[in-house]
Structure formats: C-alpha cells, structure tokens
Amino acid sequence: MTIDVDLISRMQFAFTMSSHILFPSFSIGLSLFLLIMESLYLKTKNPQYLTICKFWTKIFALTFGMGIVSGIVMEFQLGTNWNNFTYAVGGVLGPLFTYEVLTAFFIEAGFLGVMLFGWNRVGPKLHYFATLLVLIGVTLSAFWIMSANSWMQTPDGAVLKNGQFVVTSWKDVILNRSVIPRYIHMLFAAWVTTGFVILGTSAYYLLKKKHLELSRKCFAFSLAALFFLVPAQVIVGDTVGVEIHHDQPIKTAAIEGLWHTESGAPLLLFAIPDQESETNHWSIPIPHLAALINTHEWNGTLAGLKTVSKADRPFVALPFFSFRIMVGLAGIMLAITLWGGYLFLRKHLYQNKWYLRACLACSPIGFIALWFGWITAETGRQPWVVYNALKTEDAVSKVDLNHVLLSFALIIIVYGIIFGYFYFKFLFKIIKQGPETNHIDDSQPFGYMNN
C-alpha cells in the first residue's frame, strides 16, 4: 500500500470522525433519558428522579462540550485536506451544514444554559421546556448531518456541471433515498449506546452497594428500554441493508464477500477475502442466507464485485470484517437484554453478580458497534466520496505529504490528551462521586437542591 496524501488524509479524517461521533451520539441518547427522567419527576414528585437528572446532566454537559470541540477540527480539515471536495459539493453540503447550525445548534446553545444551570432560577415548566428543546436540537442536528452524509451515498437532486454539483431539487437533496432509514438507524444506535452506559454505570453502583435505590431505577429503566431498542435496531438495520443492496450493490457485494453475481448467494459467517486473486479463503457459508437478508427472497440475485473494474471496488476486507463485528456485537447486546429479562422474571435481577459484571463490561459496547457500523458504511462506499459521481482521489487537496503527516500526528497527540485522558478522567470522577443524594430540599419549588 502506497503512503500518499490521499491515504493519510483519509486516515486523518477517519480518526477525527471516529473520535467525534462518540460525543454527539451519547448526547442524543442522554438528552432523551434526561427528558424522560424529568417527566417522571414532574409527574410523581419523587425527588429521586430529580437526583438522577442532576447526576446525568453533569455527564451530558461534559459530553456535549467535548462534542463541540472535537467537531471543529473536521470543519478545518475539509478546507485544508479536501479543498477539491468542498469546491465540488459546496453548493449542496454548505447549505445543509448552515441549516444544521440555524435550526439545531442555536436551539441547543440557547437552551442548554437553562437546562444545566436553571434548576434554582426558573420554574419547573420552563426548565422542562428547555430540556425538551435541547433534545429537539440535538435530534435535528443529527438529521442534517445524516442528510448530508446520506446524500453522498445516494446523491439525489443535484447534477455535476463543470466540476461542481448544482442542485435541481432541494427536497430530493435533503430527503434523498437513503436518509430516512439511515437517520432512524443512527438514532437507535445513539439510544442503545446510551442505554448500555446507563446500565453499566448502574451495575457498577449495585456491585459497590452504593446509591442502591437510584441505581435500581436507572438499571430497570435502561434494561426495559434496551429490551425494546435492541430488537428494533436489528429491524431498522435490515431496512438499511435492503436500501444498500438497491442503491449501492457493490457495497453489499463487499460486505458479503461476493465476487461473482449470484442468485441465492450464501452468507459467509467467516472468510478471508483475497483482493488480488478475487476469491475468499477459509469460507464458512450458510446457503441462500445473504440473498434472503438483502433481497428478502430465497433466490434473490446479488451483484458481484467483478461487475465493476478493480479500480471501482472497495478494499473488501474492511467492510467485510467490520460488518461482522458490528453484527456480532449486536448479538451480544441482544443476549445481555434477554439474560436480564430472564433474571427479572426470576426476581434475581439485582442480585446476580455475574450479570452485573457483564453489564459493567458491556458499558462501551454500543460505541464500538457504532464505530464499526460507520466503518462499514464509509469504506464500503469507496473509491467514491460521492457515490458513482466523485472519486475520493479527485477530492483530496494537492498539499505536501509532510504537512499532512505533521497535522495528523499533532491531532493524535492533542486528541489523546484532551479526549483520551481528560474526558475520561472527569467522567470517571463524576461516576466515582456519584449522585448527590443528601442535599434535596423538598420545601423548594421543583425540589431543588440547595447551593
């Protein structure tokens, strides 16, 4: 593999994107959780729900702030490393990012302060309204970002003229063919990811025999939510897979390790794709299953990688293995939720230490699955940055390789310090300190905690 500007720029963007995506995903899930907990507090007046809100709001604030900082770098590198890309797609993606700022980020920024610091300063209805608008803001923000990325997967509503995409229909750009299933898939991924963090954190307290009542409430809620969310995510993922087969058949071929067009193609549980010889080694196939999953037909036809030239194929090993890791992790998440359901029926949910340890170990599982899902989506699209319209090699900036290597090295160092060390340092500090349960003043309106 040749080390060039194209490769290093792609690696740099992949690194910054994979570091950034964790924070907004967690923020999306936490904002919904906080709204539900605040709703329960307003309905029941149980101060324990308020304590849960104030504890997880600290983690939300830390995560939200890190998401803003980590996202800035991506904008700068679009101008430095991908100026040919911004020149070509600026007329399409520029307005989408502007809509994201105007309709989403301003809502988040405007009401975030009320949500974080307004407990003792505003009434319950206004604070609840602020929490609701923060949730709407982060959810809208996710839509605009997914709309932009999905347009790159299925570039509807625009035509390429003189090296630039010109919009012919904004409706088709924003609501392109793949955006709705992929957006729902992303939301469910964020909710599932957050659910496992809450489940694991609650399991930690239960194992330490701390904050037992609060932990049981969070543990039971997250497990009940995951009991619905994980199977629903599998169903939504199936919808996304069918869409990919229809609109990006070569990505499907790479995911399935399929070199020849075939009816009733088998699912390969394991194989080692060989890009050079255009074959697979050590294959473990299940007949017809790939066809059934991707087309919902027993003898459905899947296009093979050989239907396009070698230059137009992705590096098969990346989407092939990342997809299987993602699905395997989904299987573990489903097993954890079913195990929890069984223990709940047996009334041993909070007493089984092996299960609590498993939940604690699985705290980051959603983030890892999210990573590999994005690896599948983005590497399977290659060599196209805008599918079947603009190649990645034509989108990269013509800059000196040493400059890109230097910036990449600096980003790794800075990200490692800020996000790899300080974020987790403060996150673990908040978790170690735990909820503040001894300062609740029920005489205050809204059950505020005294300063």
Q: Look at residue 19 in the predicted model and tell me its pLDDT.
A: 87
Assign 438 a pLDDT band (cuts: 50, 70, 90). Answer: low
Of 102-111, 249-258, 354-363, the poorest mean pLDDT is in: 102-111
Average pLDDT of span 182-202: 98
- 3-state SS of the chain is CCCCHHHHHHHHHHHHHHHHHHHHHHHHHHHHHHHHHHHHHHHHCCHHHHHHHHHHHHHHHHHHHHHHHHHHHHHHHHHHHCHHHHHHHHHHHHHHHHHHHHHHHHHHHHHHHHHHHCCCCCCHHHHHHHHHHHHHHHHHHHHHHHHHHHHHHCCCCEEEECCEEEECCHHHHHCCCCHHHHHHHHHHHHHHHHHHHHHHHHHHHHHHCCCHHHHHHHHHHHHHHHHHHHHHHHHHHHHHHHHHHHHCHHHHHHHHCCCCCEECCCEEEEEEEECCCCEEEEEEEECCHHHHHHHCCCCCEECCHHHCCHHHCCCCHHHHHHHHHHHHHHHHHHHHHHHHHHHHHCCCCCCCHHHHHHHHHCCCHHHHHHHHHHHHHHHHHCCEEECCCEEHHHHCCCCCHHHHHHHHHHHHHHHHHHHHHHHHHHHHHHHHHCCCCCCECCCCHHHCECC
Q: Look at residue 5 in the predicted model and tell me its pLDDT.
A: 87
Of 96-110, 145-159, 376-390, 417-431, the poorest mean pLDDT is in: 96-110
Q: Look at residue 78 in the predicted model and tell me its pLDDT.
A: 83
pLDDT in tens, 313-356: 999 999 999 999 999 999 999 999 999 999 999 999 999 999 99
Q: In the chain, where are the structural domains located?
A: 199-399
pLDDT at 440 over 80: no
Q: Look at residue 444 in the predicted model and tell me its pLDDT.
A: 42
The pTM score is 0.94
Q: Look at residue 341 in the predicted model and tell me its pLDDT.
A: 96
